[in-house]
């Protein structure tokens, strides 16, 4: 899962990015509104954390620009403007949630989890596919009821696939959602990770769709 953090306060942006990475996701940052609009059109994200008071283009305009372009990513507004009018305006502009500053990092992360789940059509905090289960609150994965040991990257891949089960995911899509943009990415490594995950969860959970990618399926 990749999260765009749009915040011009460098220290707060850094704290949010650290919390996002600790939650097992990848964080990219945009320090002003125009950069944010550019990033959401150039890269694939799973959610956006959006400050309202931003240089070059304010947060509400960023949000409207995104929605006008048909980008339906979950967006959580973070703002010191906490009047009822501000909240209503933010939600009307297409935000999915609104958190007032100052806020607790744990609450932001919990709300992000809920938005990411909803964004992928999941309602329960535990995603279950066959004998595989992901507790999205703790990032623990269970296979046949037993906790599964996964490396950080294996977890990122499996979590993304579980949030998007039943559809074909290309290697480049996986790469976009598990690595930062500036990371030196090698699509061949995805095959290696998929092989390792298959060794842990049984080979028939992940189908290879030749030439297209992989699909996490509920075995018959
Ligand atoms: Ca600001």
Average pLDDT over residues 139-152: 95
Average pLDDT over residues 148-156: 94
Q: What is the pLDDT of residues 19-58, one digit of tens each?
A: 999 999 999 999 999 999 999 999 999 999 999 999 999 9
Give the rounded percent of residues in the chain with a pLDDT score beyond 90: 82
Ligand 1 center to 81 CA (angstroms) = 10
* pLDDT(203) > 90: no
Ligand 1 center to 183 CA (angstroms) = 27
Output the pLDDT for position 15. Answer: 98
Question: What is the DSSP code (8-state) at residue 34?
Answer: H
80 confidence band (pLDDT: 50, 70, 90): confident
Output the pLDDT for position 151. Answer: 94
Task: Name the average pLDDT for the chain.
Answer: 93
Ligand 1 center to 213 CA (angstroms) = 40
Ligand 1 center to 65 CA (angstroms) = 18
Cβ-in-10-Å burial (0-12, 13-18, 19+) of 143 comes to middle
Average pLDDT over residues 169-176: 93
- The answer to whether the beta carbons of residues 76 and 4 sit under 8 Å apart is no
Average pLDDT over residues 152-174: 94
Phi-psi region of 121 (alpha: psi -120 to 50; beta: other; left: phi over 0): left
Ligand 1 center to 48 CA (angstroms) = 15
Edge-to-edge strands, sheet with 140-143: 126-129, 132-135, 140-143, 146-147
Reported pTM: 0.90
Q: What gap in Å lies between CA 177 and CA 70, rounded to an integer? A: 20
Ligand 1 center to 24 CA (angstroms) = 25
220 confidence band (pLDDT: 50, 70, 90): confident
Ligand 1 center to 113 CA (angstroms) = 23
Average pLDDT over residues 147-174: 94
* pLDDT(10) > 90: yes
Ligand 1 center to 58 CA (angstroms) = 9
8 confidence band (pLDDT: 50, 70, 90): very high
Ligand 1 center to 10 CA (angstroms) = 10
* Per-residue tokens: 7: 């915040």
Ligand 1 center to 7 CA (angstroms) = 6
């Amino acid at each position: 899962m990749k999260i765009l953090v749009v915040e011009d306060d460098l220290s707060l942006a850094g704290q949010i990015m650290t919390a996002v990475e600790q939650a097992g996701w990848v964080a990219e940052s945009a320090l002003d509104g125009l950069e944010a609009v550019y990033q959401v059109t150039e890269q694939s994200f799973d959610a956006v954390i959006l400050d309202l008071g931003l240089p070059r283009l304010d947060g509400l305009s960023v949000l409207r620009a995104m929605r006008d372009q048909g980008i339906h990513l979950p967006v959580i507004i973070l703002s010191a403007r906490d009047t009822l009018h501000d909240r209503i305006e933010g939600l009307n502009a297409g935000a999915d949630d609104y958190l007032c500053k100052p806020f607790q990092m744990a609450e932001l992360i919990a709300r992000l989890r809920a938005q990411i789940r909803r964004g992928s059509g999941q309602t329960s905090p535990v995603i279950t596919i066959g004998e595989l289960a992901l507790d999205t609150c703790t990032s623990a994965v269970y296979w046949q009821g037993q906790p599964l040991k996964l490396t950080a990257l294996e977890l990122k891949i499996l979590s993304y696939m579980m949030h998007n089960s039943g559809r074909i995911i290309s290697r480049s899509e996986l790469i976009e959602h598990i690595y930062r943009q500036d990371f030196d990415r090698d699509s061949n490594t995805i095959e290696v990770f998929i092989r390792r995950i298959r060794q842990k969860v049984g080979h028939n959970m992940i189908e290879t769709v030749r030439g297209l990618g992989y699909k996490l399926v509920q075995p018959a």
